[in-house]
Amino acid sequence: MSLRKLRTHLLRLVFIPIVFVAVFVRPSWSLDSTVAFVMEFGGYLFLLTGLAIRIWCTFYIGSRKSKKIIAQGPYSLCRNPLYIGSFLLALGVGLCFENLLILILVPAIIIPVHIIVARMEEKHLESKFGEQYRLYKQRVPAFRPRFSNYNSPDIIEVNVHALRRIITDTVGVLLLPEIEDLLELLHQSGIIPVLWYFPN
């Protein structure tokens, strides 16, 4: 199995408990309360920020991952900006769904998995590119952006296939608040049971 497929399967697996919690666990406060409004509004901000980071990354690395060292744009700030975008998206989902348990699960599950996957990828890139990649690692932090490093050419080549994929992802992410509203209706009508109100 290729590293890319392994990464994809691993990340899909960790989302199973998060999806389960999103469907069957609901908050104990009123959905019309100030807490619900603040959480949902914050969720939109995290979703849009995570999405913007992922789109930005796609412009630079789309379909070129593991083929060459990308050290421009977001990849001049840190080595794993895509994972930062994914993490913010996951937090945004928890907030939009007004689900504190998701907000607990996201750091507990996604951060360790992303660190493991990032280390696997870095070993692969180091074995493939050698000293060139080691110099990049010394210059650019893994996750914490170093803004003084930023550099980007005026013109970049964008992969159309990767752009189509991120557009599809964007549509899916923008539908998440609607999915949350649908879940509320399904819970209220008793079609989907609520297994736990958290916090209780």
Output the DSSP codes for 81-143. Answer: HHHHHHHHHHHHHHHHTT-HHHHHHIIIIIHHHHHHHHHHHHHHHHHHHTHHHHHHHHHS-SS
Q: Is the residue at 55 inside a domain? A: yes
Q: Is the residue at 46 inside a domain? A: yes
Q: Is the residue at 130 inside a domain? A: yes
Q: Is the residue at 18 inside a domain? A: no
Closest CA to 183 of 198, 195, 194, 170: 194
What residues make up the domain containing 45?
Answer: 33-152+174-182
Q: Is the residue at 19 inside a domain? A: no
Task: Report the share of the chain in percent with pLDDT over 90.
Answer: 29
Mean pLDDT of the region 51-61: 92
Beta bridge partners of 197: 26
Q: Is the residue at 135 inside a domain? A: yes
Helical (H) or strand (E) element with 77: helix 74-77
Give the integer Cα–Cα distance in Å for 14 and 39. Answer: 23
- pLDDT above 90 (res 32): no
Q: Is the residue at 23 inside a domain? A: no
Cβ pair 87, 110 in contact under 8 A: yes
Q: Is the residue at 93 inside a domain? A: yes
CATH, residue 64: 1.20.120.1630
For residue 74, what pLDDT is reported? 96
Q: How many domains does the chain have?
A: 1
Average pLDDT over the chain reads 86
For residue 200, what pLDDT is reported? 67
Residue 123's identity, in one-letter code, is K
Q: 93-139 pLDDT, tens per residue?
A: 888 888 888 888 888 888 888 888 888 889 988 999 999 999 999 99
